[in-house]
Amino acid sequence: MPRINFLSTLSLNSSSSIKPLSRKKDKISFCGNMMKYVVLAIFLGVAAARPQQAKNDDVVIVRSEFEDKGDGTFNWASETSDGTKIEQQGFLKNPGTEDEGISISGSYQYYAPEGELISLKYVADEKGFQPEGAHLPTPPPIPEAIQKALEIIYRNAEQQAASFNRESFAHAPSRPL
């Protein structure tokens, strides 16, 4: 039979009477307090592990230029204190015709959060937006066998078109209808 220390199972309350302690109540109280500490530790861990925001100094415009020549031609440039640069030129193509449109070319550069300089040059015209930059993904090269097959198909299509034109005119009447 296990030995129980009699004094550790008794407590004195305010009325000076001796009362046995409830071990179950002590365990619940201990678990409740421990749970609070565990939850607090989890919250502190989550807060410490969150991504830290970069120091955001105020960015100011260092240079800003805009020139509108009034005929659809313009130049625009801007630079900020964080190293961002933007330049853009535009002009009116085919003015006064049905194919009238604007052609814009330009470039911009900025520093990515990792510190890498990102530069991009572009043209925007009737063919759409055409960007160029080292950071942009490029398509994989066409395999040599497929490239040869495409060249053969293209060559045969040209030959068929040329022979079709000769044959269609060979049987044409010599006088207009």
pLDDT at 20 over 60: no
Least confident of 9-18, 25-34, 153-162: 9-18
Confidence of residue 28 (pLDDT cuts 50, 70, 90): low
62-104 residue pLDDT tens = 999 999 988 889 999 999 998 899 999 999 888 888 888 889 9
pTM of the model: 0.48
Q: Beta-strand (E) ranges in 13-139?
A: 18-20, 61-68, 74-80, 85-93, 101-111, 117-125, 128-132
Identify which of 109, 110, 119, 70 has the alpha carbon closest to the alpha carbon of residue 90.
Answer: 70
93-116 residue pLDDT tens = 888 888 888 899 999 999 988 889
User: In angstroms, rounded to a whole number, what is the distance separating the alpha carbons of residues 60 and 65?
Assistant: 15
Domain ranges in the chain are 6-49, 61-132
Question: pLDDT value at position 54?
Answer: 61
